[in-house]
């Protein structure tokens, strides 16, 4: 089991390569039911952004471990009335065993972690989405049997998913290529951290050419062109991002056995075509299921088993 007991997970950069691999191994064992663990703890979900997969997978994971979940919707708590983050954090610290936060600013997450003694998990911020990438890597590993040496290509907006994919792939020893329109590149600090982790062992490519990035790739990944909070920009972004759509044509440039991933929700006909997401190369539904198993492994690693 990964040595994460009592720790926060605010970024995938909080893990080292061994800890990442141990998390994925534990997730595999829990999914196959070769290992059954109990964790009678209380998880709080403080989500300021809409959520389907993250909310449900964390909830089911905790219930299956024998624990309990409290959904702390900001609209029905004092958070919505302006209670300071540090006050909320210090109070929840005395009620809960662990807290997963889904919010906009990474700084808000870090402030919670600063004032709460209990572990805090990044369930999504505008900067990173580490829990999603744990499931993504689990999906790739299930299909290919390994991660080291494979190439994952992400095309589209250089958003939180792209940022965390960079870090996750580097930790896993994978080549990672990110293709975005100009002006929509991943966070430069994340890119710098990724290059430091990867060193000379693996490729880290940031490009504006989706075809170059896709050639020979083992996994082809995309996300919506306008993330939560950017919906007003969607119409303006459409013509800019159209060349970055995962279509049959783009997929044909990848390796013959390549798989297609999407973190969902998907806008079919925009960032991905109907034919591709429903096609033989798609592993999108396995990827969504693996949110449950990856997060169960993360919770057990941080909280310990009874």
Strands (E), the chain: 42-47, 68-71, 98-102, 120-122, 151-155, 175-179, 204-207, 219-222, 259-262
Pick the catalytic residue: 169, 263, 281, 295? 263
| φ/ψ of residue 43, rounded to 5 | -105, 130
**Residue 106 burial (10 A CB sphere; 0-12, 13-18, 19+):** middle
Report the C-alpha gap between 12 and 166 in whole angstroms. Answer: 9
Q: For the sheet with 175-179, list strands across it.
A: 204-207, 175-179, 151-155, 219-222, 259-262
Please tell me whether residue 296 adopts helix, strand or coil conformation. helix
Report the C-alpha gap between 8 and 4 in whole angstroms. Answer: 8
Pick the catalytic residue: 102, 177, 281, 293? 102
- Residue position matching structure tokens 């958003």: 159
**Residue 286 burial (10 A CB sphere; 0-12, 13-18, 19+):** middle
223 noted as active-site residue: yes
Pick the catalytic residue: 39, 126, 132, 262? 132
**Whether 99 contacts 8, CB under 8 Å:** no
Pick the catalytic residue: 129, 281, 283, 293? 129
What residues have CB less than 8 Å from 68, skipping those under 6 apart?
Answer: 41, 42, 43, 62
291 noted as active-site residue: yes
3-state secondary structure 35-73: CCCCCCCEEEEEECCCCCHHHHHHHHHHHHCCCEEEECC
Pick the catalytic residue: 131, 223, 262, 293? 223
Pick the catalytic residue: 53, 55, 237, 291? 291
102 noted as active-site residue: yes
Please tell me whether residue 243 adopts helix, strand or coil conformation. helix
| φ/ψ of residue 69, rounded to 5 | -130, 135
Known catalytic residues are: 102, 129, 132, 223, 263, 291
């Amino acid at each position: 089991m990964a040595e994460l007991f009592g720790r926060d997970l605010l970024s995938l950069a909080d893990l080292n390569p061994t800890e990442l691999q141990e998390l994925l191994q534990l997730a595999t064992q829990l999914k196959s039911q070769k290992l059954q663990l109990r964790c009678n703890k209380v998880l709080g979900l403080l989500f300021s952004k809409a959520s389907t997969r993250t909310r449900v997978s964390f909830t089911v994971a905790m219930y299956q471990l024998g624990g309990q979940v409290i959904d702390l919707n900001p609209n029905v708590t004092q958070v919505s009335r302006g209670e300071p983050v540090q006050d909320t954090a210090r109070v929840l610290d005395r009620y809960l065993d662990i807290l997963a936060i889904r919010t906009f600013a990474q700084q808000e997450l870090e402030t919670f972690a600063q004032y709460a003694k209990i572990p805090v998990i990044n369930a999504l911020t505008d900067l990173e989405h580490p829990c999603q990438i744990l499931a993504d890597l689990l999906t790739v590993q299930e299909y290919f049997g390994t991660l080291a040496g494979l190439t994952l290509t992400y095309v589209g907006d250089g958003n939180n998913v792209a940022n965390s994919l960079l870090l996750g792939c580097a930790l896993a020893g994978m080549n990672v290529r990110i293709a975005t329109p100009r002006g929509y590149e991943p966070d430069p600090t994340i890119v710098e951290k990724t290059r430091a982790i990867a060193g000379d062992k693996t490729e880290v490519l940031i490009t504006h050419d989706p075809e170059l990035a896709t050639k020979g790739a083992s996994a082809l990944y995309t996300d919506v062109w306008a993330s939560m909070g950017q919906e007003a920009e969607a119409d303006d972004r459409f013509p800019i991002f159209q060349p970055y759509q995962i279509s049959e044509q783009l997929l044909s440039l990848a390796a013959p056995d390549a798989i297609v991933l999407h973190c969902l929700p998907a806008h079919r006909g925009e960032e991905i075509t109907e034919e591709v997401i429903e096609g033989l190369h798609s592993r999108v539904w396995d990827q969504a299921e693996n949110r449950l198993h990856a997060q169960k492994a993360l919770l057990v690693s941080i909280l310990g088993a009874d």
